Amino acid sequence: MSRGIGTWLRTRLEDLLEAALTRLRRAPSTTPPTLYLASTQDDSTARVKPVQIGSWKVLGVIASGASATVFRVVPAWAPASKQHYALKLHASSLSAERDARSRFHREIRILKGLQHRNVVGMVEAGEHRGQLFIVMELVEGRNLRQALDHQKPQLTGKLDWAIQIARALSAVHRRGVVHRDLKPENILTTRVGVIKLADFGLAVQDELQKITRVGLLVGTPAYMAPETMMGHEPGPRSDLYSLGLVLYELFTGCMPFKAQTVGEFIDAHLAAAPVPPRRRDASLPASVEAIILRLLEKDPDARYQSADELREALEASLAEVVGIARAAQEAREAGVQVA
Ligand SMILES: Nc1ncnc2c1ncn2[C@@H]1O[C@H](COP(=O)(O)OP(=O)(O)O)[C@@H](O)[C@H]1O
Ligand SMILES: [Mg+2]
């Protein structure tokens, strides 16, 4: 193994990734599982749909994962209300577990302090029969994974999404929070194309990072920055790497590395050069390719140093794309032959 990664860490990583890949192969969806190295998960718990949680009437299930279920709810005191909300209920098997519980408390604390158009808004938090829950604004739409599967956004639409994600990250980082689990499933899109960053279950805030144990690896391996794989504490620039992977997928429809085995997976993130996005799609502007490749630099110092810097680059790229399209339109209207 290259780059002096400790044998123990590599072994742990390999076990972790193998388990993840095994689950992935078994799973009907292509969603890479989130890993919690520090916790044990009991997937066998049967989940019965509750009728009411706290003072919220359950209307249906939006999504169900290993650590939480997200329900569509309406206030029980106004059951006919058209205003619905999303309620994330922590899995009971995890509620009793200290690490998982403190993660959920962290999510509540972080969401409380974050009010931004591009971050999912929190309404209240509570406990129901020993299970923690968060009530959030309901994002009527799709997560980015579903959007990529079902929609075919134009280049300008994709750039607009990317800019909104950068804005969300900038707001998050400004508060000293690192998301640590950026991936398409945790980025929501409304029906009118507004981005809402979600799932702060793994996020950490400056002073809280101290409680993260050395060598604790949390996140989704497919979107993990090389420094995180090496066992370093992820920082804002690790979020930017993960966003580079998300944007690669958004703009090309595939991942930047061809990895078959766990070892190849790790090596690719640590040492392999990503396949240049324009080799996947020759019509992509050079500026978009340059942005993605800079985000995917192995060395955090070589990446954009802030989400704001990234946002500026994306805005310049969007202006260029729109400018070219407008010039072509004007030329067409003037009867000039354009390619
Ligand atoms: N506020 C919300 N509005 C609509 N759907 C949501 C909301 N929050 C989460 N979801 C859906 O539920 C899924 C899982 O939520 P998430 O917070 O990521 O939980 P987990 O910790 O289980 O990954 C998301 O991918 C999204 O599809
Ligand atoms: Mg999630």
In a domain, 216, yes or no: yes
Q: Are 202 and 179 in contact (CB under 8 A)?
A: yes
- Are residues 206 and 298 located together in one domain of the fold? yes
Q: How far apart are CA 214 and CA 220, in angstroms?
A: 18
Dihedrals phi, psi of 46, to nearest 5 degrees = -75, 135
Query: Residue 6 C-alpha to ligand 2 middle, in angstroms?
Result: 29
Domain end (from 109, 137, 165):
137
- Are residues 208 and 302 located together in one domain of the fold? yes
Residue in this structure with the two tokens 């398409």, named with its chain if needed: 184
Task: Collect the ranges in the chain with pLDDT lower than 50.
Answer: 1-4, 23-46, 207-215
- Are residues 73 and 173 located together in one domain of the fold? no
User: Quick check: CB of 17 below 6 Å from ligand 1?
Assistant: no
Six token digits for residue 251 = 């703009």
2-28: b or e for each residue (b if 16 or more CB lie within 10 Å)? eeebeeeebeebbebbeebbeebeeee
- Are residues 234 and 166 located together in one domain of the fold? yes
| AA identity, residue 135 | V
Question: pLDDT (tens digit, 9 = 90+) per residue, 6-51?
Answer: 555 566 666 666 555 554 444 433 333 333 222 223 333 345 677 9
Structure confidence at residue 187 (pLDDT) = 98
Which of 160, 181, 199, 239 is labelled catalytic?
181
Structure confidence at residue 22 (pLDDT) = 52
Residue in this structure with the two tokens 């969300």, named with its chain if needed: 168
Query: Residue 307 C-alpha to ligand 1 middle, in angstroms?
Result: 23
User: Quick check: CB of 70 below 6 Å from ligand 1?
Assistant: yes
- Are residues 103 and 151 located together in one domain of the fold? no
User: Quick check: CB of 198 below 6 Å from ligand 1?
Assistant: yes
Dihedrals phi, psi of 85, to nearest 5 degrees = -135, 170
- Are residues 241 and 277 located together in one domain of the fold? yes
Pocket-testing residue among 30, 31, 59, 62, ligand 1, by greatest number of atoms within 8 A of Cβ: 62
Structure confidence at residue 246 (pLDDT) = 97
Q: Are 180 and 219 in contact (CB under 8 A)?
A: yes
Question: pLDDT (tens digit, 9 = 90+) per residue, 288-313?
Answer: 999 999 999 999 999 999 999 999 99
Question: What sections of 44-119 are H helices per DSSP?
Answer: 92-95, 98-112
Q: Are 194 and 161 in contact (CB under 8 A)?
A: no
Structure confidence at residue 37 (pLDDT) = 29
Structure confidence at residue 43 (pLDDT) = 36
For ligand 1, atom 9, name the residue with the nearest CA. 70
Structure confidence at residue 103 (pLDDT) = 78
Residue 181 known to be catalytic: yes
Residues 6 or more apart in contact with residue 131 via CB below 8 angstroms: 89, 90, 91, 92, 95
Residue 113: domain span: 43-137
Structure confidence at residue 67 (pLDDT) = 80
Q: What is the CATH number of the domain that holds 258?
A: 1.10.510.10
Structure confidence at residue 209 (pLDDT) = 45
In a domain, 285, yes or no: yes
- Are residues 291 and 311 located together in one domain of the fold? yes
Residues 6 or more apart in contact with residue 61 via CB below 8 angstroms: 49, 69, 70, 71, 72
Q: Are 203 and 238 in contact (CB under 8 A)?
A: no
DSSP class of residue 17 equals: H
Q: Bridge partners of 195?
A: 189
Residues around the ion ligand 2 (C-beta < 5 A): 186, 199
Q: How far apart are CA 60 and CA 178, in angstroms?
A: 31
- Are residues 174 and 317 located together in one domain of the fold? yes
Q: What is the CATH number of the domain that holds 126?
A: 3.30.200.20
Structure confidence at residue 45 (pLDDT) = 38
Task: Give the SS3 label for residue 67.
Answer: coil
In a domain, 25, yes or no: no
Query: Residue 88 C-alpha to ligand 2 middle, in angstroms?
Result: 11
120 CA closest ligand 1 atom index = 1
Structure confidence at residue 32 (pLDDT) = 35
Measured CA to CA in angstroms, residue 237 lies from 145, 188, 292, 304, 307 at distances of 22, 21, 13, 8, 8
